[in-house]
Amino acid sequence: MHKTDIPSGAHFHERLASRWHQGYASGGFRRRLDFIESRLAPLVGPGSRWLDAGCGAGTLTQTLARLGAQGEAVDGSPAMIAAARQMGGDCSSGPFQFRVVHTVESLPYPDESFDGVLCSSVLEYLERPGAALSEFARVLRPGGRLLLTAARTGSAVRTVQVVVRRVAALAGRNAFEYLTVSRHTCGPGGLRRAVEAAAMRVDAIEPFDPVMPPWLQSVLPSSLLAVTATRPA
Ligand SMILES: C[S@@+](CC[C@H](N)C(=O)[O-])C[C@H]1O[C@@H](n2cnc3c(N)ncnc32)[C@H](O)[C@@H]1O
């Protein structure tokens, strides 16, 4: 695949791939991992077939595997998939197959292929998030579950980052560069409508912030929203 064929959100992550997994060792990434694992645990049955859509270096794919799932993990960044394969060992014998896709807005799987779809912090990078949600609904079997996290509109942390980015630019510095490719944010209502427009039933929408202390999260808008949804039977 030529670099120019790679969507901007995936292209941005290419150079982060070799360090992505180790970022989960501590801090906000670790707290995000623990939160997602706690929400996945009741959804993942032993031997169930899951898709990790936008899997990055496969850290959450490993969590799915530890919970007893098997299936597929895809990403638009070849470097991320290479890192995931390296970390996961021989992917042909592991519970998950890792695959480069052009975009999760168009998935190379037949209808009703999976019991569950995980999509963590990917939606905000897509050109057409609605198309990705429709694809997740299509590849889920009736009764299948979706766990997705998305960037929240009005997030206190993101608002500070935007201001810091503008001030840093005056000094010729490129702070929080991810903001150039993280193009979508949503509120709880917008996220609910988007998931429902893709013909899925929303079971829960929860705020979560891996950076702010918990007491501040009850006062200020969180960075993330996590939605759990079901494809109706
Ligand atoms: C913030 S990272 C999250 C990775 C992983 N889900 C996690 O939580 O560790 C976003 C990921 O989305 C991928 N991505 C961005 N746009 C994409 C697209 N259009 N199709 C597939 N993957 C994409 C990036 O390559 C990157 O690995």
In the prediction, which pLDDT does 217 show?
A: 86
d(CA 228, CA 104): 18
* Other CB atoms within 10 A of residue 216 CB: 13
User: Domain 3-152+184-230 in CATH: superfamily?
Assistant: Vaccinia Virus protein VP39 (3.40.50.150)
Tell me what pLDDT residue 218 has: 87
Residue having the nearest C-alpha atom to atom 25 of ligand 1:
10
Q: pLDDT value at position 90?
A: 46
CA dihedral 91, 95, 100, 101 (to 10 degrees): 160
- Sequence-distant (6+) residues with CB within 8 A of 45 are 68, 69, 115
Specify whether the CB–CB gap between 139 and 200 falls below 8 A. Answer: no
Nearest CA to ligand 1 atom 27: 56
Mean pLDDT by 10 residues, the chain (233 residues): 80 97 96 98 97 98 97 98 83 83 98 98 98 98 98 96 97 96 97 98 97 90 97 96
pLDDT of residue 87: 85
Å from CA of 71 to ligand 1 middle: 18
Residue nearest to atom 8 of ligand 1 (CA): 120
* Rounded Cα–Cα distance for residues 85 and 83 (Å): 5
Q: From the alpha carbon of 126, which atom of ligand 1 is closest?
A: 19
- Give the Å distance between the CA of 10 and the centre of ligand 1: 6
Residue ranges of domains in the chain: 3-152+184-230
Query: Mutate which of 1, 3, 11, 13 to test ligand 1's pocket (most atoms within 8 Å of Cβ)?
Result: 13
Atom of ligand 1 nearest to the CA of 14: 25
Residues flanking ligand 1, CB < 6 Å: 7, 9-10, 13, 54-56, 59-60, 75-77, 80, 101, 103-104, 120-122, 125-126
The residue nearest atom 14 of ligand 1, judged by CA position, is 10
Tokens of 132: 């990705």
| pTM attached to this predicted model | 0.96
Residue 4: per-residue pLDDT: 61
Q: What's CA 210's distance to the chain center, in Å?
A: 14
